Amino acid sequence: MSLAFTIAELASLTGAESVEGACAGPITGIAALAEATPADLSFLGNAKYADAVASSKAGALLVPVAFAGKPASGQAFLRVGNPSYALALLCSVLEARLWPRPSAGIHASAVVAASAKVDPSAHVGPLCVIGEGAVISAGATLEARCHVGAHASVGADCWLKSGVTIGDYCVLGARCRLQSGAVIGSDGFGYEPVNGEIRRIPQIGNVVLEDDVEVGANSTLDRARFSKTVVGRGTKIDNLVQIAHNVSIGRQCLITAQVGIAGSTTLGDHCVLGGQSGVAGHLSLGDRVKLGAQAGLFEDVPADGFMNGTPAVPFGLERRLVVLSRRLPELFKKVDSLAASLDSAGR
């Protein structure tokens, strides 16, 4: 990444209140305090790392206005109200430079069905396939090798990274962001036994992502058996997540990597599921429910519940059970000792 900023440019981009010291050359990277070189910008995001500032080799540092330290020789301090926020401001600027919106239009190598409607402001990258009756809305970006199936719809300003698959009839709201390899609208896993054979149950529903939903790389969201699988507005889904048919996820949820949610389960708003956790089918989770990493949930949870473990129990109980289970060796010994005492007392 060939980026280079002067201290003055950084001060402007981060809204620095003052600059102290100066560094030798341009700043070309961002790094944590311990790893930064004289060509890097670093930042003091958490007061507990204040001691690490003095030993940091960073050429420039975002520090709180009231930070007591002084820059080393060849080092610049940019004093800001909130270093983390200032860094995010800078990163947003950098992101826009590193990933400029591609120009509008359809790449010559893309295969677009005659009946598809692609807004002139949308970008359809190389080797994309757009099916019959599909709609690509204004400002949408489809990087290379994306597939938007027949009668599917991609909302305004969506950004599909390279290699995303949107199945037939599925619907994406505005500003959705999908990472490479995400599959929206695979068949639900529905079968029934018939005379010792397994017969497939048709899966004729679709998947609806509301506005501002994000889906991680290689995650899979199954279409409904009928009706729809829904992900609510603003919900973010990490990589390698499995969402089964007819699941309904509320708004502003965080679904961490490798989570699996089985069929027909409903989540409220603002839920947070930890990495590799699983939720059984046909359950109902209220708003703000939290589930710990690797937990396995097999029961309904009311609003604000925090569950952990497999099978999951309330977090406080789970923590206590973990502590006690580690004391099992001690408990077994104690019981043996009691038995011996009682035995000798009885003699």
- Residues within window 243-302 making contact with its own copies, judged by CB under 8 A: 244, 252, 254, 256-258, 260, 262, 270, 275-276, 278, 280, 293-294, 296, 298
Query: Distance between CA atoms of 327 and 320, rounded to whole angstroms?
Result: 11
Are the CB atoms for 32 and 42 separated by under 8 Å?
Answer: yes
Are the CB atoms for 42 and 30 separated by under 8 Å?
Answer: yes
- Residues within window 133-152 making contact with its own copies, judged by CB under 8 A: 144-145, 147, 149, 151
Least gap, CB of 37 to its own copies (angstroms): 11
Q: Which of residues 70 and 200 has its CB atom nearest to its own copies in the complex?
A: 200
Beta-carbon count within 10 A of 31 CB = 16
Instruction: Using the CB atoms, write b or e for 53-92: b if 16+ within 10 Å.
Output: beebbbbbbbbbeebeeebbeebbbbbbeebeebbebbee
Q: Which of residues 70 and 334 has its CB atom nearest to its own copies in the complex?
A: 334
- Residues within window 167-206 making contact with its own copies, judged by CB under 8 A: 167-169, 177, 179-181, 183, 186-187, 189, 191-192, 196-198, 200-206
Alpha helix (H) residue ranges in 109-162: none
Using CB under 8 A as the criterion, what x/- string covers residues 8-47 for binding its own copies? ---------------------xxxx--x------------
Identity at 219, one-letter amino acid code: S
Q: Determine if 56 is a binding residue for its own copies (CB under 8 A).
A: no
Per the document, the length of the chain is 347
- Residues within window 224-243 making contact with its own copies, judged by CB under 8 A: 225-227, 234-236, 238-240, 242
Omega into 26 within 30° of 0, i.e. cis?
no
Identity at 299, one-letter amino acid code: E
Catalytic residues: 245
Dihedral, 153, 154, 160, 166 alpha carbons, nearest 10: -10
Using CB under 8 A as the criterion, what x/- string covers residues 80-99 for binding its own copies? --------x--xx-xx--xx
Both tokens of residue 179? 């990472």
- Contact pick of 1, 47, 66, 68 for its own copies (by CB under 8 A): 1
Least gap, CB of 259 to its own copies (angstroms): 9
The tally of CA atoms less than 13 A away on the side-chain side of residue 238 is 13
How many residues at the interface with its own copies, by CB under 8 A?
108
Least gap, CB of 68 to its own copies (angstroms): 26
Alpha carbon of 247 to those of 156, 209, 232, 295: distances in Å?
24, 12, 11, 19
- Residues within window 300-319 making contact with its own copies, judged by CB under 8 A: 310-311, 313, 317
Q: Which of residues 137 and 235 has its CB atom nearest to its own copies in the complex?
A: 235
Q: Which of residues 75 and 246 has its CB atom nearest to its own copies in the complex?
A: 246
Identity at 236, one-letter amino acid code: K
The tally of CA atoms less than 13 A away on the side-chain side of residue 339 is 6
Q: Which of residues 57 and 107 has its CB atom nearest to its own copies in the complex?
A: 107
Q: Which of residues 79 and 161 has its CB atom nearest to its own copies in the complex?
A: 161
